[in-house]
Amino acid sequence: MSKTLSLQLQNDMDSLMRVLSTLRRKKFNISNVNMKKTSDTDSSKLFITIEDHLGLGINQAVKQMKKLVDVTEIKELKEEI
């Protein structure tokens, strides 16, 4: 099962790397990453599609992302890919 998450995070490469490395350590497959600047120059919007091939649960990924200081908002998009 694949799900797309929308994250609001600080606008720097370190924030992106923290998100990706956290998901990688937790053994989630990342199938798509798209990062956009927002009208606020201090933040970016990150859309990331993850695959739960091990049955770890998308909710677990959301919990891990909420723990990161750089992430200010996270939403699970409704449509499944």
CATH of 2-76, one of 2.40.160.40, 3.30.70.3270, 3.40.50.1240, 3.30.70.260: 3.30.70.260
Give pLDDT tens digits for 4-31: 999 999 988 899 999 999 888 888 889 9
Task: Specify whether the backbone of 57 is left (phi greater than 0), alpha (psi in -120 to 50) or beta.
Answer: left
Q: Which of 61, 78, 67 shows the shortest CA–CA distance to 9?
A: 67
Looking at residue 80, its pLDDT comes to 52
Give the global pTM: 0.83
Q: Confirm if 12 and 69 have CB atoms less than 8 A apart.
A: no
User: Beta 29-37 vs 2-10: how paired, if at all?
Assistant: unpaired
Give pLDDT tens digits for 24-80: 888 888 999 999 988 888 899 999 999 877 677 788 888 888 999 899 999 988 765
Domain locations along the chain: 2-76
